[in-house]
């Protein structure tokens, strides 16, 4: 994909090339990294629940800075937004929230749309509105910031490349001619995949008129027709490039206002995305492609020449990293029961990777995803393997897994199968590894050893 502005930011950031979200769907992921706690602490597994109602009255990342005297600005999609999952979380912000208007999201007739550039002056895309508001806000506060009168925390949440994929037509025509677009190399479910691992991609298949008209079943090893797949992939790439251009505008404004040398900038996505790989679409799984997402952090004076790390990291690490990078010290580790602990962390600060990017700060990354019928898929990534167990799960008040009742197990060896096309959980050659990985998964993130044997990796 053509992303020169994000690439430029990466070149002066700590680039986390192996960062994993805690749950591959919007609200649970955002609730996790914005509170610094994992889904089994926030108790947010869906798009309805608010962590303040089902988890605890936790201090969010923007709220932390608000309490430190910063002005805090929420622009676009930060929490799940408006009427879902607790809305925009009013306690997090000192300034009025800005949403923008997205008429294209309300029009569910099409899964993507290349809008003629001539229409954009009278009907600007929501992400154009979000970028403009961010730029205007920076301009309005730059004077007081440079005088030392104001500290600020600004969260800018672009909506794309969320469905529907909407962008200026010129982006597609300029960067993505049809002959460059390719089908995924693995449009089939992994061999020996348990049925519970599969998502029938309802978000795309049911909610958008053009795809709904195809009457697809969403069953395992069925997917979209080739031409529709190519069109959607092309549209997704175009939406990403459109957002890249807006990221560039906001960063350039920060530079031109003279604020870059004293502002920490992070860039993230809230989950990965399936574009026909495994025959899947959207997110809602525990595969590598949905749990692996972009994350980079620019810290003036420390990352200016770019630092790349291949070490395992998690999105729950973002909160303590930003706090430390901004000069507010280290956060305490959350106790086992942190419902009444307003500020703590369940991740690890990434600041040590700036000095030693090749030294592991953790050996496992944990993700999870729920399924109807009180089933939770717990997934663990080591350097070499992805291991997942789908087990019975008790919701309120205990929120506990029953590891004895399994609905499916997955084991993917990334040394030989980086696309996760073969589930080796029942393969005799992985028996001993599976046993060790299962023990680690059950122990959880608090109790994984500092050193993992070479056989597990």
Is 292 among the catalytic positions?
Answer: no
The strands making up 307-309's β-sheet, listed across from edge to edge, are 265-268, 295-298, 14-16, 307-309
Catalytic residue among 43, 80, 162, 278: 80
Residues 436 and 455: their CA atoms lie apart, in Å, by: 10
Catalytic residue among 26, 282, 334, 344: 26
Bridge partners, residue 386, by sequence: 381, 412
* Burial of 191 (C-beta count, 10 Å sphere; 0-12/13-18/19+): exposed
Torsion of CA 50, 54, 57, 60, to 10 degrees: -40
Bridge partners, residue 30, by sequence: none
Is 80 among the catalytic positions?
Answer: yes
Residues 28 and 135: their CA atoms lie apart, in Å, by: 29
Residues 436 and 443: their CA atoms lie apart, in Å, by: 11
- 213 CB neighbour count, 10 Å cutoff: 9
3 state SS of 445: coil
Whether the Cβ atoms of residue 93 and residue 62 lie closer than 8 Å to each other: yes
Q: Strands 365-371, 375-381: parallel, antiparallel or unpaired by DSSP?
A: antiparallel
Give catalytic residues, as residue numbers.
26, 80
């Amino acid at each position: 994909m053509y992303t020169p502005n994000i690439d430029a930011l990466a070149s002066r950031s700590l680039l986390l090339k192996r960062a994993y979200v805690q749950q591959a769907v919007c609200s649970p992921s955002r609730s996790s990294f914005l509170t610094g706690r994992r889904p089994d602490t926030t108790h947010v597994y869906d798009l309805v629940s608010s962590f303040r109602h089902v988890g605890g009255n936790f201090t969010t990342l923007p709220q932390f800075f608000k309490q430190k005297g910063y002005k805090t600005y929420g622009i676009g999609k930060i929490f799940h937004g408006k009427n879902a999952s607790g809305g925009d979380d009013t306690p997090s912000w000192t300034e009025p929230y800005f949403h923008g208007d997205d008429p294209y999201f309300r029009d569910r007739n099409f899964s993507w749309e290349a809008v003629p550039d001539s229409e954009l002056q009278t009907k600007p895309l929501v992400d154009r509105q979000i970028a403009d508001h961010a730029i205007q806000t920076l301009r309005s506060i730059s004077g007081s910031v440079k005088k030392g009168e104001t500290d600020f925390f600004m969260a800018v949440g672009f909506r794309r490349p969320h469905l529907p994929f909407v962008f200026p037509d010129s982006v597609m025509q300029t960067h993505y001619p049809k002959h460059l677009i390719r089908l995924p190399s693995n449009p089939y479910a992994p061999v020996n995949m348990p049925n519970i691992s599969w998502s029938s991609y309802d978000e795309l298949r049911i909610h958008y008129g053009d795809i709904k008209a195809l009457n697809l079943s969403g069953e395992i090893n069925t997917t979209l027709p080739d031409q529709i797949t190519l069109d959607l992939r092309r549209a997704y790439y175009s939406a990403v490039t459109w957002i890249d251009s807006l990221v560039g505008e906001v960063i350039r404004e920060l530079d031109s206002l003279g604020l870059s040398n004293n502002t920490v900038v992070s860039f993230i996505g809230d989950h990965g995305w399936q574009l026909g790989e495994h025959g899947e679409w959207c997110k809602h799984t525990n595969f590598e492609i949905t749990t692996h997402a972009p994350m980079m952090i620019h810290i003036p004076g420390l990352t200016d020449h770019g630092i790349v790390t291949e070490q395992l990291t998690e999105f729950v690490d973002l909160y303590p990293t930003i706090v430390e990078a901004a000069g507010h010290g280290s956060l305490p580790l959350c106790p086992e029961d942190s419902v009444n602990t307003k500020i703590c962390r369940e991740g690890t600060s990434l600041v040590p990777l700036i000095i030693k990017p090749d030294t592991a700060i953790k050996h496992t990354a944990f993700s999870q995803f729920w399924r109807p019928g009180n089933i939770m898929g717990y997934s663990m990534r080591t350097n070499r393997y992805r291991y997942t167990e789908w087990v019975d799960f008790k919701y309120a008040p205990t929120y506990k897994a029953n590891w004895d009742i399994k609905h499916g197990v997955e084991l993917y060896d990334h040394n030989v199968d980086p696309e996760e096309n073969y589930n080796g959980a029942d393969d005799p050659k992985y028996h001993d590894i599976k046993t060790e990985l299962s023990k680690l998964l059950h122990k959880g993130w608090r109790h994984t050893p500092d050193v993992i044997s070479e056989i597990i990796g």
